[in-house]
Amino acid sequence: MGRGKHSRIERRRGGCLSGCLTRILVLLGLAALLFVGACMTGVITNDEQTGEPKISFSNVHAPDLSGVQLDFSSLGTTAQGVLSHLPSFRYKFGVKGEGLTVKLLHAGDGECIFVVSDGYVLVGDAGSGSGNWISLQMLLGGVRHINALAALSSDDTNIGGMKTLLTRYKPQYLLYQDSQVKGKAYNAMVQAADSLTGLNRLTARRGLGFQLGRATVSVLGPLTTYHSDSMDDGLTLRIDYGRTRVLLLGTVHAGGASDLTRLGSELTADVLVAGSGGAGLTNALLEAVRPRYVLVAGVPDEAAVSRARTWGANVMTVHDKGVLGVYTDGETLTLE
């Protein structure tokens, strides 16, 4: 009898311990989810001086109940993947159905440039992860479709999620370069592209251009095929929308930037989006582009960021600010 009672007590203690551990794990999971959400929405950012995390609500937009329902029916079938009605509130992931929006998304140690022009979607690079975070951020912005993917780099850190984006969204176009470096993510991207029917694969070359809604996207670089630094093989795209011009510098470092400066006025842009932490932000390039705003993707190169600020540009980094971007209706340019 005594042994039976002892056994029941032990079982109760074991059940209580198991239940307590389960509750602790659930609470830790919820805490982790809240932390990730706070980082993604900009509540937790890094202090620009110390690099330490801090809590700030300056990047979180209050609800705006004046949202307008959008109708994409006149834009054709390529815009059907964009939600016809965006949420009635606006915050940092949101995009508009008209005009040009360019955003830098959270992408691990790499970069992802998100472009929406009149409901048509171009995604440049896909970060260092699997691509699921990119998909989530797109969904939060109200977008469920990609028209074109551009591998601005061949580096695993920047195109880790390209395979996932290709297989999940099945875009109509893939723009990439025949890089001298073909790593794991690059090969996975090519294999995924091989498996898709109806995908138009375009090897980037200078002079190639296409329309994205009312925006014109032009390939400016690379000007030469192979560089001593493989990052300089990265693509440089220019987006013209009305009176606004945006330059996507990709992963270009100093050597590639030196090549590009030969283009002169073709590089001039209101917004310069610099990949690879801004490693290509040389004084010569800044003089050629003459940007009002510089958005830096990836882990920032502090010397390059300081150089751009000294030159006189308004510089922001996704590493410090979280999701950030610009919007234009073709006339007025605003930060988001």
Q: pTM surpassing 0.85?
A: no
Owner of token pair 């009312």: 214
Rounded alpha-carbon distances, angstroms, from residue 241 to 190, 266, 269, 276: 31, 15, 11, 25
Q: Give the model's pLDDT for residue 229.
A: 73
Tell me the two tokens of residue 218: 């032009």
Tell me the two tokens of residue 248: 């996507």
Q: Give the model's pLDDT for residue 191.
A: 95
Q: Give the model's pLDDT for residue 89.
A: 35
Task: Please state the rounded mean pLDDT for residues 254-264.
Answer: 91
- Tally of CA atoms within 13 A in the half-sphere of 136 that contains its CB: 12
How does residue 38 score in pLDDT terms, banded at 50, 70 and 90? Answer: low
Q: Is 43 left (phi over 0), alpha (psi -120 to 50) or beta?
A: alpha
Max Cα–Cα distance, the chain, nearest Å = 94
How high does pLDDT run on average in the chain? 80
Q: Give the model's pLDDT for residue 222.
A: 86
Based on DSSP, count helices (H) and strands (E) in the chain, helices before strands: 9, 17
Position with higher pLDDT, 208 vs 322: 208
One-letter identity of residue 192:
A
> Over 60: is that where the pLDDT of 195 sits?
yes
Ranges of beta strands (E only) in the chain are 44-46, 53-55, 100-104, 113-117, 120-124, 148-150, 173-176, 200-203, 209-212, 215-221, 236-241, 244-250, 271-274, 293-296, 314-317, 324-328, 333-335
Q: Give the model's pLDDT for residue 20.
A: 64
Pairing between β-strand 44-46 and β-strand 53-55 as defined by DSSP bridges:
antiparallel
Considering only 36-40, 268-272, 317-321, which range has the smallest mean pLDDT? 36-40
Q: Give the model's pLDDT for residue 332.
A: 97
> Over 70: is that where the pLDDT of 43 sits?
no
Task: Please state the rounded mean pLDDT for residues 238-254.
Answer: 94
Q: Would you tell me how many other CB atoms lie within 10 Å of the CB of residue 89?
A: 13
The predicted-structure confidence for 212-229, as pLDDT tens digits, reads as follows 999 999 999 888 767 777
Ordered by where they begin, the domains of the chain are 63-335 (3.60.15.10)
- Nearest Cα to Cα of residue 157 among 219, 223, 238, 231: 231
Residue by residue, DSSP assigns 267-297 as: G--SEEEE-GGGTT--HHHHHHH--SEEEE-
Tell me the two tokens of residue 328: 């234009």
The predicted-structure confidence for 59-103, as pLDDT tens digits, reads as follows 333 333 223 233 333 333 333 333 333 333 345 788 888 999 999
Q: Give the model's pLDDT for residue 91.
A: 55
How does residue 284 score in pLDDT terms, banded at 50, 70 and 90? Answer: very high
How does residue 32 score in pLDDT terms, banded at 50, 70 and 90? Answer: low
The predicted-structure confidence for 137-186, as pLDDT tens digits, reads as follows 998 888 999 999 999 988 899 999 999 999 999 999 999 987 777 889 99
Rounded alpha-carbon distances, angstroms, from residue 261 to 266, 284, 291: 9, 7, 14
Question: What secondary structure letter does DSSP report for 265?
Answer: G
Q: How far apart are CA 246 and CA 156, in angstroms?
A: 25
